[in-house]
Structure 1
């Protein structure tokens, strides 16, 4: 899903939630969830759209209607507890769609 499609679905009220996925190396990926399916955001070339931070995501989404927005840390057990790759759960934390620093 590209940015134009994402915005159109958001305005139409079709997006259940947005997940900002924290990857290794300080990279974040954005995915929209609709009807139980995940749709990653891609750039104009069709490649994964990389974001730098939660604030960067908020800047990109500044003119969108307010949506349910979550920060997702993948392989949280591996990072937090030192468990092996057998634990495939991730940690999803709701975050504010708008920054407290902007009105």
Structure 2
């Protein structure tokens, strides 16, 4: 199985998970990916595939947060943590894309 297929399989798995579980699994998998071995075209494909997912995931978590009572429960705090992690993953992916483009120049 190729690395690209593995990432698409990961995306399929994440779509079937609850938002907090998806964020946890995504973090575990992103740590294991060897980003330095990827060229610009591979990184572009990964970013193009995962950014829309991260956007939808952040939206689901924000919706859950809006429905949380105040003061926030432990579950609400976990949602805030997960939302910040999603934003961080998106930022890291965009930085990877930018770095790969810079190296090409």
TM-score, scaled relative to structure 2: 0.30
TM-score, scaled relative to structure 1: 0.30
Compare the two structures and name the one with the higher strand fraction.
1
Compare the two structures and name the one with the higher helix fraction.
2
Q: Which structure exhibits the higher relative contact order, with contacts defined as CA atoms closer than 8 Å and separated by 6 or more residues?
A: 2
